[in-house]
Amino acid sequence: MHIPVKNNVTWVGKIDWELKRFHGEEYSTHRGSTYNAYLIKEEKNVLIDTVWIPYAQEFVDNLETEIDLNDLDFIVMNHGEIDHSGALPELMRRRPDLPIYCTAAAVKSLKGQYHGDWEFRTVKTGDSIDIGNGKSLVFVEMKMLHWPDSMATYLTGDNILFSNDAFGQHYAVNHPFNDLANQEELYAECIKYYANILTPFSALVARKIDEVLALNLPIDIIATSHGVIWRDNPTQIVEKYAAWARDYQEDQITLLYDTMWEGTRRMADAIAEGIRDSRPNTMVKVINIARTDKNDVITEVFKSRLILVGSPTIGKGVTNATAGILEMLECLRFKNKKAAAFGCYGWSGEGVPRIRAWLERAGFAIADEGLGVLWNPDIDALENCRALGRKLANA
Ligand SMILES: Cc1cc2nc3c(=O)[nH]c(=O)nc-3n(C[C@H](O)[C@H](O)[C@H](O)COP(=O)(O)O)c2cc1C
Ligand SMILES: [Fe+2]
Ligand SMILES: [Fe+2]
């Protein structure tokens, strides 16, 4: 299946409706995904990226219906990750002499993963290749967005930015153009992708956007490697990224809790009541972290200005789900957010101080020393929870 993008540029990727998990079990893909690859047929015939390993055979067979593989002049690998390079070994098996244009870091990542003795041609920011008919490809390194090897490729004349993972989202759509997608679903998948994958690199994202805008390249289309191709007002997603990259937050407070015997859950509900009493317009979400998709949890944290994390003390520590989320929070390195801890305990009560220390390590500003409740909360303890909510609502 091939989809025309513009003039001599064709989408030759794979729509994966079945994908439910990505990066092992680390990222949920409720709405599937696409692996976008593109064929440019000018005087030179160029392939941009490939697809994930399970679709390698299918991809190259499909590509052959569009072009004789011997007529390909080179391939551009914008990123070495397997969801885009997975079909490279199959392609190279059939065209062993095909030159691969990529960053120096991508030579390392591709060799490190496939151990292929292929013809690499290293490019860096500003390098360009004439592909005939007055058009050329210009490369822009996108170091750490989100791997050291990442880059974007710009096609002059057609004004298409092949941005790879940047501006993408895991979203299967039959006709992958932004104007044809359900806008709410599209937005939800974009912000989830940013929150879960790009948050640690926000400073780099902000700088890179400024750098690319300063080049004054006309951008008619942003052709990403997952989800939709941005052709209707493509800079809308750049503006979103610019906002998300600057320590994004809404007027939202999110309570994340786990519980064994409902005490910590009752604390969460009472804290939420206190916030409502004090600031009725603040968006408050109360989430059982053991029963909620972890990436959806992270997206809610991304939108929050303050989070509260609650766990009962178990085995002198916190529950499994609480530790999992705290580890994610630490790795994502959120900035400009406040946090506090809460939870029930029976005797030693290590839970709350442990969560507080972990939140601090993760870069959150501690808004309150937190609240531990001995056994199940009584009327007084619940009132203390409401008071904490009222206080933190205005933190
Ligand atoms: C398996 C298990 C281990 C526990 N370990 C501890 C502990 O090490 N220290 C402590 O203070 N309380 C411990 N507790 C007691 C709980 O923290 C206490 O029952 C608390 O009220 C439970 O809160 P919850 O209703 O939110 O589950 C443990 C309880 C269970 C079931
Ligand atoms: Fe990637
Ligand atoms: Fe990707």
**Are 135 and 228 part of one and the same domain?**
yes
The answer to whether residues 293 and 153 belong to one domain is: no
The pLDDT tens digits for 351-376 are 999 999 999 999 999 999 999 999 99
Q: Are residues 30 and 107 in the same domain?
A: yes
Mean pLDDT of 190-205: 97
Q: Is 313 in the pocket of ligand 1 (CB under 6 A)?
A: yes
Return the structure tokens found at 184: 């709410």
234 within 8 A of 266, measured Cβ to Cβ: no
The ligand 1 atom nearest the CA atom of 262: 25
Which residues have C-beta within 8 Å of that of residue 125, sequence separation ≥ 6?
139, 140, 141, 151
Same-domain check for residues 384 and 292? yes
Checking if the pLDDT of 1 tops 80, the result is: no
Which ligand neighbours the alpha carbon of 354 most closely? 1
Structure tokens at 77: 């690998």
The set of residues, in sequence order, having a beta carbon less than 8 Å from that of 32 and lying 6+ positions away, is 15, 16, 17, 18, 19, 20, 170, 171, 172
76 in the same domain as 92: yes
The domain of 211 spans 3-245
Check the CA dihedral 185-189-195-201 and report its sign: negative
pLDDT, tens digit (0-9, with 9 covering 90-100), for 310-367: 999 999 999 999 999 999 999 999 999 999 999 999 999 999 999 999 999 999 999 9
Q: Are strands 100-102 and 14-16 parallel, antiparallel or unpaired?
A: unpaired
Instruction: Note the maximum CA span of the chain.
Output: 78
> Phi then psi for 253, rounded to 5 degrees?
-120, 130
pLDDT digits (tens, 9 = 90+) for 134-146: 999 999 999 999 9
369 CA distance to ligand 2 middle (Å):
38
Question: 277-314 burial, b if ≥16 CB within 10 A, otherwise e?
Answer: ebbeebebbbbbbbeeebbebbbbbbbbbbbbbbbbbb
Question: 3-state secondary structure string, 315-333?
Answer: CCECCHHHHHHHHHHHHHC
Task: Give the end of a domain, one of 226, 245, 264.
Answer: 245
Catalytic residue among 90, 194, 226, 300: 226
Distance 380 CA to ligand 1 centre (A): 20
- Residue 123 makes CB contacts below 8 A (sequence gap 6+) with 101, 102, 103, 139, 151
Quickly list DSSP for 95-149.
-TT--EEE-HHHHHHHHHHH-----EEE--TT-EEEEETTEEEEEEE-TTSSSTT
Q: Which of 191, 220, 245 is the last residue of a domain?
A: 245
- Band of residue 198 on the pLDDT scale cut at 50, 70, 90: very high
Find out whether the beta carbon of 314 lies less than 6 Å from any atom of ligand 1. Answer: yes
Q: Are residues 268 and 354 in the same domain?
A: yes
Same domain? 290 vs 157: no
Q: For residue 219, how far is the Cα from the chain centroid? A: 22
CA torsion angle 202 142 30 59 (round to 10): 180
The CB of 262 under 6 Å from ligand 1? The reply is: yes
pLDDT band, residue 177 (cuts 50/70/90): very high
Q: Which of 49, 90, 141, 165 is catalytic?
A: 165
Q: Is there a catalytic annotation at residue 170?
A: no
Pick the catalytic residue from 42, 49, 90, 146.
146
Least confident of 26-40, 145-159, 202-216, 243-257: 202-216
Sign of the CA dihedral running 300, 304, 310, 311? positive
pLDDT over 80 at 299, yes or no = yes
**Ligand 1 within 6 A of 261 CB?**
yes
Whether residue 260 sits in one domain with residue 239: no
Q: Of the residues 269, 342, 345, which should be mutated to test ligand 1's pocket, given the most ligand atoms within 8 Å of the CB?
A: 345
Task: Check if 79 is active-site.
Answer: yes
Give me the number of domains the chain comprises.
2
Mean pLDDT of the chain: 97
Q: Do 179 and 123 sit in the same domain of this protein?
A: yes
Query: Is the C-beta atom of 310 inside 6 A of ligand 1?
Result: no
For ligand 1, atom 21, name the residue with the nearest CA. Answer: 375
Q: What confidence score (pLDDT) does residue 326 get? A: 98
Same domain, 217 and 361: no
Q: Given pLDDT bands bounded at 50, 70 and 90, which one contains residue 395?
A: confident
Pocket residue to mutate for ligand 1, from 258, 260, 355, most atoms within 8 A of Cβ: 260
Q: Say if ligand 1 is within 6 A of residue 234 CB.
A: no
Residue range 72-116, pLDDT digits in tens: 999 999 999 999 999 999 999 999 999 999 999 999 999 999 999
Compute, in angstroms, the gap from residue 84 CA to the centroid of ligand 1: 46
Residue 246: name the closest of 217, 211, 210, 205 by CA: 205
Shared domain check, 378 and 259: yes
pLDDT at 254: 99
The reply to whether ligand 1 has any atom less than 6 angstroms from the CB of 348 is yes
375 Cα nearest atom in ligand 1: 21
**Which tokens hold the place of 46?**
């160029």
Question: What pLDDT digit, counting tens, does each position of 36-65 carry?
Answer: 999 999 999 999 999 999 999 999 999 999
pLDDT, average across residues 168-197? 98
Q: Is the CB of 263 under 6 A from ligand 1?
A: yes
- Told to judge if 193 belongs to the known catalytic residues of this protein, a careful annotator would answer yes
State the amino acid at position 307 in one-letter form.
I
**Token output for 99:** 């030159």
Query: Nearest residue CA, atom 30 of ligand 1?
Result: 314
Q: Are 83 and 23 in contact (CB under 8 A)?
A: no
Identify the band that residue 31 occupies on the pLDDT scale cut at 50, 70 and 90: very high
Evaluate if residue 169 carries a pLDDT over 90: yes
| Residue that finishes a domain, picked among 197, 218, 245 | 245
Residue 157 maps to which CATH number? Answer: 3.60.15.10
Q: Considering the entire predicted model, what is its pTM?
A: 0.96
Q: Which residues surround ligand 2, an ion (CB under 5 A)?
A: 81, 165
CATH label of the domain that carries residue 289: 3.40.50.360
Helices (H), the chain: 56-66, 82-85, 88-94, 104-114, 183-193, 202-214, 235-245, 263-278, 294-303, 320-332, 351-361, 379-393
C-alpha 332/C-alpha 199 separation (Å) is 6
